[in-house]
Structures are given as C-alpha cells and as structure tokens.
C-alpha cells in the first residue's frame, strides 16, 4: 500500500458537501502512516475536509492494457489504494513546514532543500491536512488475460500492452539564468523515483 501511494503522483479526494458528491484530484504525499494534502485556504474542499467530515482518497496506477479473445475478458493491469478517513488540519508552523517539504519532495526528490522555503504569507495562505492511513485497502491486477478455455483456439491476438509514464527532455524556464544545471533528480526521474524503487 505504501509503495503504491509513494509512486502515485496525485490522488482523487471524494467527499460530500451539502448533499452533493465531489471528487477532486490533488497532489499528495505520504509521511509514515499519514497522507498529506494541501491547497489554498480559500479552497472549498480543504475547508470542508478540515471539519472532520468523512472522505475517501483513491490512487490508481495504470500498468497495462489486457487484451483477451473476448470483449468480456478485456481488462487492465493496475495497482490501487482506497483510504477512508477524516482529516485533521496541521496548524503548528514546524509541522506545517515539514508537511510542505514532504509535498515538494514528492514532486521531485530533494527539491525542498534546493528552493526557497514558504514565507509567512505563503504559510498563511496554505491549508495542510493529514489523514491516517488506517482504514485502507489495496487492489492489484497483473498478468495476462483470463480467457475462457473454449476461446483459446481463436485466431485473435491476446496478451498485455505494458504502459509506463516516461519523462521527456526538461524544458528550462525562459527566465533561468545561463549556466544553472538541470538537477540530477530531474534527469534521472521516473515514476518510481530516482532510485528506481517505489
């Protein structure tokens, strides 16, 4: 479960507000047995979630298409996590800074040490929530299609099309001063992290 959460670059947060269901994509980071979410203090979603209403967070990694000999048995290879919880707002400055560093480092390892830390105005403009990874489940589908025995002799290609997320060449900001090198973490980037692991 931790490996899936750590590899995923974003999650979907589901909740109900005034009887209406919402599902919002957002960046997340895992710190121990907590999942961290953040956004603007003006965010309706975060303001609602800070009131300890029930929420659902989902993460899905698509690993491949599974092509069977029948339409019924087509599928996808994936890894997913569902977390049911209530969130708590992180309010102390030290904890909030640590959580924001974790979120920045989730975008790119070691990035928080290379950039300017949040100033007072930015801290005040940001809500950070933590939710426990306690009531959660993971689901994984791997491998070839599960065709019916009677379909195995069909003259129809069947198998898997593995999929992966790959990075292209980094594009520098037009305002970047000449001579600033591309960070190694960026040139070595993969969805699984710079060390090739989840």
Domain boundaries, given as residue ranges, for the chain = 2-146+158-187
Q: Say how far residue 2 (Cα) sits from the centre of its chain.
A: 11
| Closest to 69 measured CA to CA, from 140, 148, 141, 138 | 148
Architecture in CATH for domain 2-146+158-187: Roll (2.30)
Helices and strands: H and E segment counts in the chain:
6, 10
Q: Is the pLDDT of residue 120 over 70?
A: yes
How many CA atoms, within 13 angstroms, populate the side-chain half-sphere of residue 126? 21
- Express as a percent the part of the chain with pLDDT over 90: 84
Mean pLDDT (the chain, rounded): 93
DSSP assignment letter at 105: H
**Tokens (6 digits) for 83:** 């977390």
Q: How far apart are the first and last CA of the chain?
A: 11
pTM for this prediction: 0.89
Integer CA distances (angstroms), 161 to 69, 140, 145, 147, 196, in order: 14, 16, 11, 16, 21
Confidence label for 193 from pLDDT (cuts 50, 70 and 90): low
Integer CA distances (angstroms), 2 to 29, 59, 151, 153, in order: 10, 11, 38, 41
Confidence label for 18 from pLDDT (cuts 50, 70 and 90): confident
Burial label, 35 (beta-carbon count in 10 A; 0-12, 13-18, 19+): buried
Instruction: Collapse the DSSP code of 197 into the 3-class scheme (helix H, G, I; strand E, B; otherwise coil) and give the result.
Output: coil
**Residues of the chain by 3-state class (helix, strand, coil), percent to 5:** 25, 35, 40
Q: How far apart are CA 45 and CA 139, in angstroms?
A: 26
> What digits encode the pLDDT tens for the residues 58-79?
999 999 999 999 999 999 999 9
Is the CB of residue 8 less than 8 Å from the CB of residue 30? no
Taking residues 42-58, report their average pLDDT.
Answer: 91
Q: How far apart are CA 15 and CA 44, in angstroms?
A: 11
| Residue 40 burial (CB count, 10 A) | 12
């Amino acid at each position: 479960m931790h490996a899936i959460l750590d590899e995923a670059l974003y999650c979907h947060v589901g909740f109900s507000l005034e009887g209406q269901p919402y599902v919002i994509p957002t960046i997340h980071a895992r710190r121990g047995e907590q999942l961290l979410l953040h956004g603007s203090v003006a965010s309706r979603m975060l303001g609602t979630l800070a009131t300890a209403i029930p929420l659902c967070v989902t993460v899905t990694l698509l690993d491949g298409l599974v092509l069977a000999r029948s339409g019924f048995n087509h599928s996808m290879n994936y890894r997913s996590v569902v977390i049911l919880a209530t969130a708590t707002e992180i309010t102390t400055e030290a904890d909030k800074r640590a959580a924001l560093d974790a979120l920045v480092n989730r975008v790119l390892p070691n990035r928080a040490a290379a950039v300017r830390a949040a100033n007072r105005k930015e801290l005040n403009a940001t809500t950070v929530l933590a939710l426990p990874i306690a009531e959660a489940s993971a689901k994984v589908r791997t491998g070839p299609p599960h065709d019916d025995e009677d379909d195995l002799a069909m003259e129809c290609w069947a198998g898997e099309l593995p999929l992966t997320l790959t990075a292209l060449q980094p594009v520098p900001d037009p305002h970047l001063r000449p001579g600033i090198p591309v960070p190694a973490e960026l040139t070595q980037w993969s969805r699984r992290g710079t060390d090739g692991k989840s």
